[in-house]
Amino acid sequence: RELTGEVEFENVDFGYNPDKIVLHDINMYAKPGQKIAFVGSTGAGKTTITNLINRFYDIQDGKIRYDNINIGKIKKPDLRRSLGIVLQDTHLFTGTVMDNIRYGKLDATDEECIKAAKLANAHDFIKRLPDGYNTVLTGDGANLSQGQRQLLAIARAAVADPPALILDEATSSIDTRTEAMVSKGMDALMAGRTSFVIAHRLSTVKDADCIMVMEQGRIIERGTHDQLIDMKGRYYQLYTG
């Protein structure tokens, strides 16, 4: 069954340790194709929510549904295949650039991988590597810049062509030009897919359909950028402060 990318959380409580709840009563609904952004200070629970969208952990209470299916009932590997993830530190393995992209969909052809790299805005830098797509990466891609690793992560997610995505924006400094390349690739990847974005730069969340402002494991405000600015609450503080 093809998933559309509809995601719903209903009254979700979660703790990594059941004695210490870190997410409280999370409710949210993402229509297929929407962009949902999470903002909030460190430890607020942004990464934890995305870990649950991935179903990396069991929840203590509540429901998480994909297309109205309670995903507690789906075998995790099936679900994983339906999501694309671009993490801050993507794991690249020793092997060619092509194989590292193909990891997003193991039976992808070379043509599909190249198409994904083009969408991700990664094709140009790959072509300039000593052996292009056949360049062998050292473990963890140490012979690439951080921005290049991110572009490969975007290409890897694109080749899987998932209905939903999780993007964890890098905090560490990449130069402005690389940052522009990465965000162009991410925009292309997000088009037409439900996207959950952990944003560290408020400038990148402005166009989200819904921004979730988190604090101490709760969603304390939500809305579009303009709505949240008008509210003159926490988001306004973060944005103007």
Positions in the binding site for ligand CTP (CB under 6 A):
16, 22, 40, 42-48
The CA distance from 106 to 153, in Å, is 15
The CA distance from 145 to 172, in Å, is 12
3-class SS of residue 5: coil
Contact yes or no for 170/153 (Cβ under 8 A): no
Could you tell me the smallest distance in angstroms from the CB atom of residue 19 to Mg ion? Answer: 22
16 binds, among Mg ion, ligand CTP, none (CB under 5 to 8 A by kind): ligand CTP
Beta bridge partner(s), residue 136: 96
Nearer residue to ligand CTP within complex by CB, 50 or 121: 50
Nearer residue to Mg ion within complex by CB, 168 or 221: 168
Nearer residue to ligand CTP within complex by CB, 47 or 96: 47
Could you tell me the smallest distance in angstroms from the CB atom of residue 43 to Mg ion? Answer: 8
The CA distance from 159 to 123, in Å, is 13
45 binds, among Mg ion, ligand CTP, none (CB under 5 to 8 A by kind): ligand CTP
E strand or H helix that includes residue 37: strand 35-40
42 binds, among Mg ion, ligand CTP, none (CB under 5 to 8 A by kind): ligand CTP
Torsion of CA 51, 56, 61, 65, to 10 degrees: 80
Could you tell me the smallest distance in angstroms from the CB atom of residue 149 to ligand CTP? Answer: 19
Q: Which residue's C-beta sits nearest to Mg ion?
A: 47
123 binds, among Mg ion, ligand CTP, none (CB under 5 to 8 A by kind): none
Nearer residue to ligand CTP within complex by CB, 56 or 93: 56
Q: What angle do CA 206, 207, 209 make, to 5 degrees?
A: 110
